[in-house]
Each structure stands twice: as C-alpha cells, then as structure tokens.
Amino acid sequence: MPRPTLRDVHVNRPLTNVSIAYRNDEYIGAEVFPIVPVQKKSDLYFVFNKSQWFRLRSGPRPPGREAPVADYSVSTASYICLNDALSYKIADEVRANADQPLRPDVTGTEFVTDGLLLALENRVATLVTASGNWASASNPTTKWDVDTSDVWGDIDTAVNAVKDNIGRKPNVMVFSETAWRNLRNHPDLIDRVKYQRVGGKIEPADLMGWFNIDKILIGGALKDTSQEGAAAALSQIWGDMMWTGYVTPNAALEQPTAGYVFQWGNRTVQRFRMERHHSDIVAAEWFTSEVIVASDAGAIMSDVTT
C-alpha cells in the first residue's frame, strides 16, 4: 500500500462552515391573532352588543318633538396572561471544549426563543382549527384532492359567511400546508391561470385577487409529538383546514377582530449563573393570553382532504 495513506495525512474534524439543525422557517400565529401589549397580567375588555348596531334605529322626528331615542349596551370579557418559559443549560466544560462552528450561547438563545414561538403557534392553531370556536364551520361535500370538488364554491361560502355575520368581508385567509398543496394543483383553479403564466400553478396572490383578501397565510409549521428520546413523529400544527376571518390591521377601539394575543410585558431572554452546577442557564419567557374575541368574525372549513 502506498505511503502515506489518506488516513495518515488527514484527521476528520467538524466543518466550520456547515452544520445541520432543524426548525420551522415561518410562524403565522401572530398574524392570525395580532399581539396586543397590555399593562396588567389580567384584565377586562369591553364588548358591544352586535344586534343593537345593526338594528334600524332612526325615524321621523315630529315637529316640536325629540328624535327617536336608541341606546346600546356594553359587556365585558376577560383575559389572563400565563407564563410560558424555556431554559437551556450550558456547562462550563461544554463551552470550553466546543469546536468551531458550535456556539453554545448563541445557539442556546435561539433554541429557547424558538421554543416559545413554536408553542405560541401551536396554541393559536389549536384555537383557530377547532370548529366549535367559530360561528360558521363546515366540511367540503367533496374533498379538495378530488378533481371534481368545488374548491371555489367552498371558499366563497366561507367568505360570505363572515360577511353575513359581521357586515364586512374577511381580510385574512389561512390554509394549512396540506390544504394548500392540494388547492394549488386543483384543475378548476389551474384553468383560471394556465394561459397567464408558465407552469400554471396557483399562487397566494391569485386568491387574494379572486376573493378580495388582503393576506393569504400558509400554516406549514411542524411539531414533534413523540416522547423525549424516541424517533421524531412530526405532524402539521395547522392540520387539514381552511380558515378565513376579519383581523383588524391594528388593535383598536370599537373594531371587530377574530382574536388577539394579549401580551403582558416583553419577551425576555436572560442568562444567569448556577455556580454549584458549573453552568450558565439561558432562559426565555413571556406572558401571553390567546383569545378568540369575536367568534362570528371567522369561518372554518375542516378536513378538506382525504
């Protein structure tokens, strides 16, 4: 055998410009339920009676008499911001012996921060995807992965349901990744664009134009449901559904919106010393409350594919 060999001249060691990590590339929860900073950990917010604002209230005023009198009532609903936290321990020995490009402090900070965002995404999705939480909930007669399904009619029905319930059209539409993959390849929709672009695939902008929607969101985040240490069992956080609703662009008085994330204080990331353990702890936390504030401002279509 020729000498020196490859093993003689090279000792394997980690690359300094490549490493492999897994995380979701986008979260949409805070776009479906906007974050509203609040001053107190728990409090009330006012809710106006809907029917009194849609009732015909004006009428003739007889000479010398006062105009018809109407009034409105106000009730309250509550929120309570609960703590969600995650920490990561960095042992002194680990930091001192970490090879390039490993960065225990930086990666640990990213790890705990992403953990909070993933949990928020899951909490918002759990509320949004529950059919019982919305005034309008349905299932397609024919699933969207069947070519003869009426995807246009199904979406239009959901859009109209919101308009009929609150007097304004929805401005946000959410598709789970599963639903979107089937929708964008549906022949009924492809027929509408096949002569307009190469490939003829449906894009979010198409639906924004067709249904007069300001924002199309694709919920593609994954979560692992396996036990710690077991093989990963990934599932779609947003399931198999389409949701549309009115989401106020900015938190405001006297505005309907499907939901809010009330946030007390800022999201914090701290590092503190545990001398007895010869370690530093990187800890992230925040206080939030995810609330459906207007169940009639959203419409959901569940189980849209087989």
Contact status, residue 177 vs residue 218, Cβ threshold 8 Å: yes
Q: Would you say the C-alpha torsion 9, 11, 12, 17 has a positive or negative sign?
A: negative
Residue 6 has pLDDT above 70, yes or no: no
Half-sphere exposure of 160 (CA within 13 A, CB side): 7
Q: Secondary structure of the chain: what % helix, strand, coil (to 5)?
A: 30, 30, 45
- pLDDT for 226 equals 94
- pLDDT for 53 equals 85
**Domain spans in the chain, listed from the N-terminal domain onward:** 27-57+67-302
Residue 20 has pLDDT above 70, yes or no: no
The percentage of the chain sitting over the pLDDT mark of 90, rounded to a whole number, equals 69
112-131 pLDDT, tens per residue?
999 999 999 999 999 999 99
The residue among 180, 234, 70 whose CA lies nearest residue 189 is: 180
pLDDT band at 183 (very low <50, low <70, confident <90, very high): very high
Length of the chain: 306
Half-sphere exposure of 238 (CA within 13 A, CB side): 26
Give mean pLDDT, residues 34-40.
95
Q: How far, in Å, CA of 273 to CA of 128, rounded?
A: 40
Q: How far, in Å, CA of 234 to CA of 236, rounded?
A: 7
Give mean pLDDT, residues 289-296.
97
Q: How far, in Å, CA of 178 to CA of 270, rounded?
A: 37
- pLDDT for 2 equals 54
Per CATH, the number for 27-57+67-302 is 3.90.1690.10
The mean pLDDT of the chain is 90
Contact status, residue 105 vs residue 95, Cβ threshold 8 Å: yes
Residue 294 has pLDDT above 50, yes or no: yes
Burial pattern 115-132, b for ≥16 Cβ within 10 A else e, equals: bbbbbbbebbbebbbeee
Residue 249 has pLDDT above 90, yes or no: no
pLDDT band at 240 (very low <50, low <70, confident <90, very high): very high
Q: How far, in Å, CA of 185 to CA of 181, rounded?
A: 7
Residue 245 has pLDDT above 90, yes or no: yes
Q: Check residues 94 and 276 and name the one with the higher pLDDT.
A: 276
Positions of E strands within 110-182: 136-138, 172-176
Give mean pLDDT, residues 250-279.
90
Contact status, residue 239 vs residue 198, Cβ threshold 8 Å: no
Q: Check residues 252 and 209 and name the one with the higher pLDDT.
A: 209
- pLDDT for 297 equals 97
Angle of helix 204-211 relative to helix 151-166, nearest 10 degrees, comes to 50
Q: Check residues 108 and 175 and name the one with the higher pLDDT.
A: 175
Q: How far, in Å, CA of 288 to CA of 145, rounded?
A: 37
88-98 pLDDT, tens per residue?
998 888 888 87
- pLDDT for 199 equals 72
